[in-house]
Structure 1
Amino acid sequence: MENPATPDSAPAPDSGPGAALYAPERVIIVDDHALVRDGLRTVLEQAYPACETLDADGLEPALHLLATAGEADLVLLDLLIPGIEGLSGLETLRERYPATPVVIVSGVTDRQVVQAALAAGAAGFLPKSLPRGALLDAFAHVLSGGIYEPEMTAADTPFAAGDEERAIHARIAALTPQQRVVLGKLVGGRLNKQIAYELDVSMTTVKAHVSAILHKLQVFSRTQAVILANRAGFRE
């Protein structure tokens, strides 16, 4: 008897949830975690066996793929990629490839983040916690021309005040000493070039620190990082 967990016994590609009339020919997955890329690739390959699935660990490699392999039917973009500040990665893709739907895939499901991504032109926002069937339904919805917005639950709404402050303190505590210094400069209203001058480091180094800070604080802009820091009473 065959093991039901083997790929040979998986449901036929067109028989399960998310079976799309608009099967993609090429999808690009952009995420800095190989495990996430592999998981999404597996789901796509089982659902759309004729689809070419490419992946990149950052924005620049993704742009290179789009330039060399040709435009994709769908780009799945992680929200918090090191080296990318806020929604700039999404904005760059939308500016250069306006006809290509870009769907954000993220572990961050705060309502404000979802709305900001959709307002910036994302064709959908997929929480990484979505089960396979819901993921395929979301792909089908976007590929047919829709915009996918996840259902928000109580778990996705802001914490109670005390819980939220403790969570913010924990995120700030995860920063390295240098990142804490840079965060202090952000709170003080410094621009990147001012921070670089004051710390005697390159602009590239400052940008790398800022990106790491946004990633660890789970926010998508400098402004939100400053707001979180102020809530926690963090000062320069």
Structure 2
Amino acid sequence: MASRILLLAFLALVSSHAIASDPSPLQDFCVADKTSHVFVNGLVCKNPNDVRADDFFFSGLDRPGDTANKLGSNVTLVNVEKIAGLNTLGISLARIDFAPYGLNPPHIHPRATEILTVLEGSLYVGFVTSNTDNRLFAKVINKGDVFVFPQGLIHFQFNYGTKNAVAIAALSSQNPGVITVANAVFGSKPPISRDVLAKAFQVDKKTIDWLQAQFWMDNNN
């Protein structure tokens, strides 16, 4: 009986792990049909007879993103919305441009691990572990260096230098999602109660009012 319970627990664990990431494809491709009104976890497949090479193509990642904003950074995400052929393939890509002292602020990808490669410049990058110990893993990385941000953990990239920096990130989901911490907390619609935030951050309500009144921009394209 005990061994049976153990087996069932193991199967439940394996099953939960299996459904925790994008589903594996069961065919060569499943190009997204963006005209479909059917709602599924992902996107409905286009008729294979209507699939063309352009369904697997995106152009323009060589062009720098506009960093003339308050953050001094710009993320050009190439996900299933940009390449319909990524549907069910469990991968996407992003180009991140940084002006001098530009920041890609603390954020989370709820559905993807990220692996980042610096193409130009230097970046100070890091992530924070979950609330077990809130440990920061951070490092300065240079051209050609690679750093990994585990799925679901808060992470950031900062160009501490006086020249522009560029990085490419690969993500383990066709639609990784992004939750920018400050935007979500102080820029939610409708706003989170200032009573809740004042207590959570141990500050007075006037400080919360000021933070909620700021313009919390999105640097993702």
Give TM-score, length-normalised by structure 2.
0.24
Is the helix fraction higher in 1 or 2? 1
Give TM-score, length-normalised by structure 1.
0.23
